[in-house]
A = this chain, B = another copy of it.
Amino acid sequence: MRKRICARHGKDYPCSCGMGNLYRFVEPVVLLLLKMKGKTYGYDLSAALEGHALTDTTIEKGVLYRTLRRLETNGNVKSEWETEGRGPARRVYRLTRQGEQHLEEWAAVLEHLSKSMTRFVRDARKPVTSKARADR
């Protein structure tokens, strides 16, 4: 839908920034990082998300904190304040059993989605049929 020009990647790179409010898959990526790290907190996740996001855009920090809260409300993660160590207190998150299962669900959904998208790309690049060309 290209409402604005992408400031991060310029107009040559086919990034997703210009395609409207594309879903950023913050929830599944956060669940995966929590699985890999064992435990973390928002500020740390914010940096790690750079390398693990599914789309090209930086995942917005406000969205991240709200996603963590929502995951906790739904029982997928649990948190506690950690005042030990250097710097300001951190709210440390861990996956719950239910959160691990939810990640598995996401994996199944994204596996399916990934295949559908590959099929889409193949079809989109096929030359148009003679009938479609005539109807155009």
Contact = CB atoms under 8 A, between A and B. Distances in A.
B112 A114 contact: no
Contacts of A128: 35-36, 38
Chain multiplicity (copies): 2
Interface string A111-136: 11111111011011100110111111
Q: Main SS of chain A's interface residues?
A: helix
5 contacts: A16-B113, A32-B124, A37-B135, A110-B117, A114-B117
Interface of A: 1-2, 14-16, 18-20, 22-23, 27-29, 32, 35-39, 52-56, 70, 74, 94-95, 102-118, 120-121, 123-125, 128-129, 131-136
